[in-house]
Amino acid sequence: MSKLGCKCGHVIRDQTDSLSYKAGFIPDKAFYPLYEEVYRNIGLFIESIKNNTRDEWIEAFFTSDYALLNLTDEQIVNDIFDRSYFETYRTMYQCENCGRIHIQEQRTNYFFSFLPDSAEARNVLDA
Ligand SMILES: [Zn+2]
């Protein structure tokens, strides 16, 4: 996403990393299934290394083009995690002008907005 219009008229921009008004989240019902899938796939990757079938496993899990990238084990584990994580990950933004929270709906990618009842609720997504 690059821009999201808020009801107050402000345009929320997402064109860089480490935004103070953006957060990613995993819905609670998806949290444990996500990690179970990641742990299972990392375990299968480790088994393929032990069994000397690493290249075949990488090609089957990802693609033959991906297998040609000759990535390190660390990069492979990172991509195993990312593949599951970004299927589940959703985004929320807080409008810097009015404080509204915009939460991404999973199936449609529509953003529902919620207006805080206190001005002190601004910057709740900042680390
Ligand atoms: Zn706003």
As a whole number of Å, the end-to-end CA separation of the chain is 21
CA of residue 5 to ligand 1 center, whole Å: 8
Q: What pLDDT is recorded for position 5?
A: 96
What is the model's pTM?
Answer: 0.79
34 and 75 housed in the same domain:
yes
Q: Does residue 2 sit in the same domain as residue 34?
A: no
Q: Find the 38 Cα to ligand 1 centroid distance in Å.
A: 36
Span from the CA of 49 to the centroid of ligand 1 (angstroms):
51
Residues less than 5 Å from ion ligand 1, measured at CB: 6, 8, 10, 95, 97-98, 100
36 and 69: one domain?
A: yes
Here the contacts of 42-51 (C-beta below 8 Å, separation 24 or greater) are: 42/77, 42/80, 42/81, 45/73, 45/76, 45/77, 45/80, 49/73
pLDDT tens digits, one per residue of 25-75: 999 999 999 999 999 999 999 999 999 999 999 999 999 999 889 899 999
> How far, in Å, is the centroid of ligand 1 from the Cα of 2?
16
User: What is the reported pLDDT for 85?
Assistant: 93
Q: What is the pLDDT of residues 80-107, one digit of tens each?
A: 999 999 889 899 999 999 999 999 987 7
36 and 84: one domain? yes
pLDDT at residue 1 tops 60? no
Q: Could you tell me where the DSSP H helices lie in 8-52? A: 28-50
115 is in which domain, residue-wise? 1-13+20-25+90-127
Report how many domains make up the chain: 2
Residues 84 and 94 in one domain: no
Do 101 and 79 share a domain, yes or no? no
